[in-house]
Chain A
Amino acid sequence: MDTALQSLVDQVQAAVASHTPLCIRGSGSKDFYGNLPQGQVLDVRHWQGIVDYDPSELVITARAGTPLALVETMLSEQDQMLAFEPPHFGLAATVGGCVAAGLAGPRRASAGTTQGAVRDFVLGARLLDGRARQLRFGGTVIKNVAGYDVSRLLAGSLGILGVILEASLKVLPRPRAELTLQQDCDEAAALLRCNQWGGQPLPLSATHWHNGVLSVRLAGAEAAVREASATLGGQPLPTAHAAQFWTALREQSADFFAGDLPLWRVSVPSTAVPLGFDAPQCFEWGGAQRWLRSDLPAAQLRARANQLGGHATLFRGGDRSAGVFTPVSSAVLRVHRGLKAEFDPTGIFNPGRLIQGL
């Protein structure tokens, strides 16, 4: 066995034997996310490398510690991309952290073609579980229904089921043309427009509203982008400026995200009315992902999100001790407990990170 892998297995075995909680960690770029990390750090960065990449198969397989930036560079050399446009939140973000956090960027809600959550692009994974077993789920082909889809369950699991050792991700060709348009409108009008456009065959690849400005990124065949830009109207952003704009949004380096006020992520149906609240806000994903800067009580924000058919997460900052995620129903919790008991019977992996007490 490779020494880096052997070391992970040894550390997990030792932790199981001594009931020592482990905090699975790549570069730590997402330490801020989820409930407070606890336990002894299990560093997966040495377990890195591209296992396989064949552009005509549209899949890349990488070890967990592989830098995300390396993967993206390799893909862009072949004119391909990770279509969920993952945020890095740090220069050294890893593939394992990307899958475990399950966060997607602006392209998440692109219209027409396959939706862009991380899990939608996970084809297979290897997991080191709490019995120190090395498990393999899924595979490297696009269609695969052999056995339960555990590899996709790992996307967004925040490491509570074990150490993601390797992931096979579906990749897509980069669009041939891209154009960002901006137009002035208030939030309610922006929400309506985004939803109406979503029902038309338009090559939308990202939407964003903030402070009375709606920004729309079109991506696809040249003809499609040209035609759609005529339909949508608005001011085109120069190419370099547009790239910076979407990167700043994805990486949360835009001005909106600066400062110490807690950042809330409110996930609601795209057609939900504006949240209200006297607080700085913006939205993405055609209205399905709303960001809010506020130190209002969690209960108040959660109640509003719930009323609109969604949920609210304390994404960054604030007091994480009360739990950053909306609690799940008792039936769903029962299944979570069952899964945790199967994959991590001694409860050593990332305790409480996704669900308090689990």
Chain B
Amino acid sequence: MHNAVVVQHPELIAALRAVLPAGALLVEPEDTQPWECDGLTLIRQRPMAVVLPDTEEQVVQVLQLCHAHGVPVVPRGAGTGLAGSAMPNAEGVLLAMARFNRVLSVDALARTATVQPGVRNLAVSDAAAPYGLYYAPDPSSQIACTIGGNVAENSGGVHCLKYGLTLHNVMRVRGWLVDGTPIEFGGLALDAPGLDLLAVMIGSEGMLAVIAEVTVRLVPKPQLARCIMASFADVGQAGDAVAALIAAGIIPAGLEMLDQAASRLVEPFANAGYDLDAAAVLLCESDGTPAEVAEEIERMCSVLRAAGATRLQVSADETERLRFWAGRKNAFPAAGRAAPAYYCTDGTIPRKHIGTMLKAIAAMELRFGLACPNVFHAGDGNLHPLVLFDDSDPDSVARAEAFGAEILEESVRLGGTITGEHGVGMEKINQMCSQFDADSLEAFRGVKRAFDPAGTLNPGKVVPSLHRCAEYGRQRVSAGRVAFPELPRF
């Protein structure tokens, strides 16, 4: 998407300058340009201004001023989001919260940590480590992404199946409504009176409130973790193995899959020792006490063997376990090396359809003329197909976008969702029209109004307008397939 013309608002800028320290207000195009996108580089927009406050008082003043002028505010953490949720608004102020980067307290006995929103995900676990505790949700971007962003996206990681998403690990969020009114969701007890607003706040993509402080739950570090690397000659069989593990009553600490193209993509990069002849590799982790892990690994191995695994390798020590994971965790950078650009989507489907989905994606590779290695959180049915394309070629870009859209449509058709953990943002806003009916979309708008009546906090994201859905409907051909390549997705 092209940059829309930035709207100027000299009066507001002057007022912001008066409340912010030097260097905390950026307005010149060359200064705002680095902020024009998040991790989804396909969509860019320069904001009217970027503000980088470092006190809560400044944030409140920014919110009050913008509210008084009816100017949109878009909160931003580290900008690693993959859906364009933090894409700036041409008429608005980008509120960068990264300077709020302090861990305020760790209460080892209560197993909680209270942190500012700009604290990086991994920094929370680092702060908790001396107490034998950690923060469980571990997105692959955890060295960079912030807790504020995690809460806004309800981020997941490779251990969600057993340890839950951000939602299950956040107890309390303090922040402000768009007009600067302070508000608190949840609390230090396990519940709070009234509706569970915390549940709807988490995953709201910066559209309901600005986050000032988060209290997360910490969990004890397991004594031991071991990982099985299993090879399969067929992706369908690997998918069935995932279902078989669950049916056997096993909840692995991690259960990830790479197809052959993905293994071949990451191996030269990570030297993980993946079986490059296998059609699919499954990584299946057990954690707990040594006796517990031994018991579970044995059960896992027998289920995997019965499901047709051609090769099983159990990590002998921590170094080997980390090596197994290195491939999976480096899938994105490896994709970045293998092609000028890659586009990662995030559909989630019922586990039983994994094989069907992978076959559908293989057919799309031919149709769109682009390669698409697949890595995914198999235990959750959460796919991350990596469409490789050339971002200097407009035709290649258009094909990549249409490919991604088609994967999302297929996810909905298979009874799943267009996004498991990355959010809708701008990226998947059209496919919201496929997943939800008009009434449910209107109800989402109602939720937004309840928090933000003027609609100025991160406007235009996630929930498509009626008009947009009508347009999107017209652009799709009657067979239910996305018209290609004319379709502008953004």
Contact = CB atoms under 8 A, between A and B. Distances in A.
Interface of A: 54-58, 79-80, 102, 108-109, 111-115, 117, 119-120, 129, 133-137, 139-150, 152-153, 155-157, 160-161, 172-174, 176, 195-196, 198-202, 220-224, 226-227, 267-271, 285, 288-289, 309-311, 313, 325-329, 331-339, 341-343, 354-355
Interface of B: 107-111, 131-133, 153-154, 156, 160-165, 167-169, 177, 181-185, 187-197, 199-200, 202-204, 208, 217, 219-223, 243-244, 246-247, 249-251, 288-289, 291-292, 294-296, 348-352, 377, 380-382, 415-424, 428, 432, 435-437, 439-444, 446-451, 453, 462-463
What 9 A-B pairs come out closest when comparing CB atoms? A338-B450, A342-B446, A173-B249, A223-B291, A143-B420, A152-B199, A310-B189, A224-B292, A331-B183
Nearest to A221: B292
B168 to A, nearest CB: 5
A29 to B, nearest CB: 20
B189 A269 contact: yes
A338 B453 contact: yes
A143 B165 CA distance: 8
Contacts of A224: 288-289, 291-292
A331 B295 CA distance: 51
A341 to B, nearest CB: 7
A156 B352 CA distance: 31
Best-surrounded residue of B162, B197, B350 (most CB of chain A within 10 A): B350
A133 B438 CA distance: 10
Best-surrounded residue of B161, B167, B189 (most CB of chain A within 10 A): B189
Nearest to B463: A147
B421 A150 contact: no
Nearest to A144: B417
B350 A133 contact: no
Given A149-B167, A338-B453, A199 B223 contact: no
A342 B441 CA distance: 13
Nearest to B221: A201
A227 B109 contact: no
B453 A57 contact: no
Contact of B428 (A146, A202, A336): A146
Contacts of A137: 440, 443
11 contacts: A56-B351, A57-B246, A115-B164, A115-B190, A119-B199, A147-B436, A195-B110, A311-B187, A331-B181, A331-B184, A339-B446
B416 to A, nearest CB: 5
B190 A328 contact: no
A326 B192 CA distance: 9
A343 B446 contact: yes
A56 B243 contact: yes
Best-surrounded residue of A133, A143, A145 (most CB of chain B within 10 A): A145
B196 A152 contact: yes
A141 B349 contact: yes
Contact of A145 (B243, B422, B436, B440): B422
A311 B167 CA distance: 21
Contact of B449 (A310, A331, A338): A338
Contact of B167 (A113, A120, A148, A337): A120
A339 B195 contact: yes
A82 to B, nearest CB: 15
Contact of B416 (A133, A141, A310): A141
Best-surrounded residue of A201, A220, A271, A310 (most CB of chain B within 10 A): A201
A332 B194 contact: yes
A290 to B, nearest CB: 10
Given A141-B380, A141-B417, A114 B183 contact: no
B193 A327 contact: yes
B380 A311 contact: no
B190 A117 contact: yes
B292 A173 contact: no
A227 B108 CA distance: 23
Contact of A114 (B163, B350, B419): B163
Given A223-B291, A329-B184, A153 B197 contact: yes
A142 B380 contact: yes
A261 B381 CA distance: 50
B249 to A, nearest CB: 3
Nearest to B451: A335
Contact of A173 (B208, B243, B250, B422): B250
A147 B444 contact: yes
Contact of A141 (B200, B222, B381, B453): B381
B34 to A, nearest CB: 27
B195 A157 contact: yes
Contacts of B440: 135-137, 147
B381 to A, nearest CB: 6
Given A120-B167, A223-B291, A342-B450, A198 B183 contact: no
Nearest to A341: B450
Nearest to A271: B110
B168 A149 contact: no
A355 B194 contact: yes
A143 B156 contact: yes
B196 A199 contact: no
A145 B193 contact: no
